[in-house]
């Protein structure tokens, strides 16, 4: 084990980033034309990084498994993007955004990175407005803001419930401009299969053309991994079905440390599981908690009657409803952070108060918002003496203007009208705070290999606050990586083009082909999904919202045995030299079967509760997370040594000079 150096600059927190930019090495424009950069993943982090690096003059190659960068999973983000503009005049600042993010992450993130994130957040909004992103605007024409969980100010910029889509289209348009100029060469429908290291530096990748099956070599002076998170290790998650860990995990196998794999976010507002037939879950934006109130019946007999279909939620009187978040956390109410809201929902459902047929759902109710907005609209419209029905109709129109597409989506999936009956929600796997370990420059432990966005671990600690994923992805891509990568590339101005005809590329390609052949040669007993579903159930039941030492050890043993069976008995039909989606899935699930075991090992070694990592042995009498700052105030960074059970732990000690460590309270 070693203590990792994060290379955070010296000096006062608010001056670190400015001083660092002023002193790091740069590459002059004429030399940038001779330097190649590979970007794997074209979501918000990868797309913005590729566009900015190409604008600066580097030659960029982008890789994504989708048919277009527009299909990246960033498109699914709904609620908004944070920035400390203080447009509302409610007391926001860079420091408050920094503080809320560190506190929300349960004091398990790096101070310097989070403060930098807050500093550049305002620039992101300016950049996106200039690109034409249609953010919502208030009456006076300024950009509007709404609140998200874990904060006491309104700092979330949004475009209805389609914020991720609009931001991605902005990044994609910036990419397209560079593609048209010849500065970006896109490789869509390509999947990174391995990282190639030459003389200790990342010098390219091996990729598979998903249309032809051809294995290709691509070289560069640096490689950026921006391939998103690993939530699909749980099989059921809010991620796109294609989302995977392959690029990050193959980088890990080549020497990049993997940090905090057990820090995974369970999102409290998702459409509940309806049966064994499902292959993914759907998120309902956290922004809905601005106006929706979460409740369950106060009496178990009412919950049982609702589950049996004998009682409708609208028939339950106000005094018979338990608005449990408002009761337990009066200061923040329904806008507590995601980990807190998720555990509270689980606690109520486990106690027998769940409201759907499986008993695993709570209500998200907009009836109060309809009346509140309706009264205001009636007054501003000059309607005196409006009836309650008129007020509710006016209020529904206001809510529709703010969240309309989310309500439509819910009705299409559940076949219930959320304007007439409360939504049903339940927690589900959503985002991963863990990822490739990076230093202050976003460089992994492999020189020349960088990680951006959700693929790295750096900014969210043990729990991500809502609307911070889009902020981090665009901060990394537009405003951090383009500066810091130049510090490394300044050493390569005389290197010349990197050849792919070398022993290192030969060996990497051979290993990729051998792995594919091994997958294709299984005995053919079970499908890929058969193994993925079993893995998902192990992960959810034993590494999900709550964990304990006994079940984590069981998970490690069960995943190890499942992985062994997978390699012997998986059935992959077709051939490797053409389109073969089962082969694609097989490669991804093979990596999940390794990551899942390391995930459980990481959770077992962290003997505390913090954020999304809740160990049942470590909780307060009230059932809240109990941190152990004396023994676990560090980042767990794992070095690959073959089997996950042999992974070696390295620590990055977390130093807090600007924030007082204390028990997180939202009461």
| Interval 13-46: pLDDT, tens | 999 999 999 999 999 999 999 999 999 999 999 9
Predicted pLDDT of residue 212: 98
Amino acid 277: pLDDT: 84
Strand stretches in 256-412, DSSP E: 258-259, 264-270, 293-297, 321-322, 362-365
Q: Flag whether the pTM goes above 0.85.
A: yes
Q: What DSSP string describes 199-232?
A: TTEEEEEEEEETTT--EEEEE-SEEEE-----GG
d(CA 554, CA 541): 11
- Return the pLDDT at 610: 97
Whole-number pLDDT of residue 1: 73
Helix (H/G/I), strand (E/B), else coil: 623: coil
Cα→Cα distances 424→92, 178, 284, 559, Å: 33, 44, 10, 32
Q: Is the dihedral of CA 65, 517, 250, 483 positive or negative?
A: negative
Share of the chain above pLDDT 90, in %: 96
Q: Which one of 203, 338, 343, 627 is the catalytic residue?
A: 338
Q: Cα–Cα distance between 514 and 506 in angstroms, integer? A: 12
- The CA–CA distances, whole Å, from 629 to 8, 610, 633, 634, 654 equal 21, 10, 5, 9, 10
From the DSSP assignment, how many helices (H) and strands (E) are in the chain? 19, 19
Give every residue of the chain whose pLDDT is below 50, as ranges: none
What integer pLDDT is reported at residue 667 of this predicted model? 87
| Residue pair 459/117 in contact by the 8 Å Cβ criterion | yes
DSSP state letters, 104-136: HTTT-S-HHHHHHHHHHHHHHHHHHHHHT----
Taking the alpha carbons of 281, 593, 256, 551 in that order, is the dihedral positive or negative?
Answer: positive
Contact 422, 284 (CB under 8 A): no
- Residue 387 φ/ψ, nearest 5 degrees: -75, 165
Give 615's strand partners. 547
Q: What's the CA gap between 582 and 573, in Å, rounded?
A: 7
Q: Is 615 among the residues known to form the active site? A: no
Q: At what angle do helices 111-131 and 163-181 cross, to 10 degrees?
A: 80
Quote the distance between the C-alpha of residue 64 and its chain's center.
17
Reading phi first (left if > 0) and then psi (alpha if -120 to 50, else beta), residue 10 is in beta
């Amino acid at each position: 084990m070693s203590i990792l150096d994060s290379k955070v600059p010296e000096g006062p927190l608010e001056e670190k980033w400015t001083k660092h930019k002023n002193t790091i090495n740069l590459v002059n424009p004429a030399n940038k034309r001779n330097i190649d950069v590979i970007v794997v993943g074209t979501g918000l982090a990868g797309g913005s990084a590729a566009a900015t690096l190409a604008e600066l003059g580097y030659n960029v190659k982008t890789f994504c498994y989708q048919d277009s960068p527009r299909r990246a999973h960033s498109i699914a983000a709904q609620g908004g993007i944070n920035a400390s503009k203080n447009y509302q005049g409610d007391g926001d600042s860079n420091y408050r955004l920094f503080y809320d993010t560190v506190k929300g992450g349960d004091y398990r993130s790096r101070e310097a990175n989070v403060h930098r994130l807050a500093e550049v957040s305002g620039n992101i909004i300016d950049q996106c407005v200039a690109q034409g992103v249609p953010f919502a605007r208030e009456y006076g024409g300024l950009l509007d803001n709404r609140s998200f969980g874990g904060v006491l100010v309104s700092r979330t910029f949004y475009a209805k419930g389609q914020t991720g889509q609009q931001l991605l289209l902005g990044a994609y348009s910036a990419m397209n401009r560079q593609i048209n100029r010849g500065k970006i060469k896109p490789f869509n429908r390509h999947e990174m299969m391995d990282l190639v290291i030459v003389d200790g530096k990342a010098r390219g990748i091996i990729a598979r053309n998903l249309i032809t099956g051809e294995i290709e070599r691509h070289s560069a002076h640096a490689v950026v991994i921006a391939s998103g998170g690993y939530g699909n290790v749980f099989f059921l998650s809010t991620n796109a079905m294609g989302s995977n860990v392959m690029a990050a995990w193959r980088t890990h196998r080549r020497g990049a440390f993997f940090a905090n794999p057990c820090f995974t976010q369970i999102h409290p507002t998702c459409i509940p599981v309806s049966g064994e037939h499902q292959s993914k879950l759907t998120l309902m934006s956290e922004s809905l908690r601005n106006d929706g109130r979460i409740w369950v019946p106060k009496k178990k007999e009412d919950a049982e009657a609702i589950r049996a279909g004998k009682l409708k939620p609208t028939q339950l009187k106000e005094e018979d409803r338990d608005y449990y978040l408002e009761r337990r956390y009066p200061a923040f109410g329904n806008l507590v952070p995601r980990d807190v809201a998720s555990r509270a929902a689980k606690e109520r459902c486990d106690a027998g108060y769940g409201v759907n047929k499986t008993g695993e759902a709570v209500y998200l109710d907009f009836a109060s918002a309809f009346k509140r907005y309706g009264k205001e609209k009636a007054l501003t419209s000059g309607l005196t003496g409006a009836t309650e029905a008129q007020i509710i109709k006016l209020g529904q129109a206001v809510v529709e203007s703010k969240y309309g597409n989310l309500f439509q989506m819910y009705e299409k999936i559940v076949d219930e009208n959320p304007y007439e009956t409360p939504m049903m929600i339940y927690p589900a796997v959503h985002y991963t705070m863990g990822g490739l370990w990076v230093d202050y420059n976003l460089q992994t432990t492999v020189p020349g290999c960088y990680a951006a966005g959700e693929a790295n671990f750096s900014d969210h600690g043990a729990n991500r606050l809502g609307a911070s994923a889009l902020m981090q992805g665009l901060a990394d891509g537009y405003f951090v990586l383009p500066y810091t990568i130049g510090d490394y590339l300044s050493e390569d101005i005389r290197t010349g083009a990197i050849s792919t005809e070398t022993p290192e590329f030969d060996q990497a390609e051979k290993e990729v082909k051998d792995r594919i052949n091994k997958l294709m040669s299984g005995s053919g007993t079970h499908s890929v999904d058969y193994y993925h579903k079993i893995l998902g159930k192990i992960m959810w039941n034993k590494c999900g919202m709550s964990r304990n030492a006994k079940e984590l050890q069981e998970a490690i043993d069960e995943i190890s045995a499942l992985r062994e069976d997978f390699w012997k008995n998986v059935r992959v039909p077709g051939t490797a030299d053409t389109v073969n989606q089962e082969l694609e899935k097989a490669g991804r699930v093979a990596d999940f079967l390794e990551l899942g075991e390391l995930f459980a090992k990481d959770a077992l070694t962290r003997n505390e509760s913090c954020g999304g990592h809740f160990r049942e042995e470590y909780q307060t009498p009230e059932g809240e997370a109990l941190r152990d700052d004396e023994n676990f105030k560090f980042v767990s960074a794992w070095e690959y040594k073959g089997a996950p059970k042999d992974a070696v732990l390295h620590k990055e000690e977390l130093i807090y000079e600007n924030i007082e460590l204390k028990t997180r309270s939202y009461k």
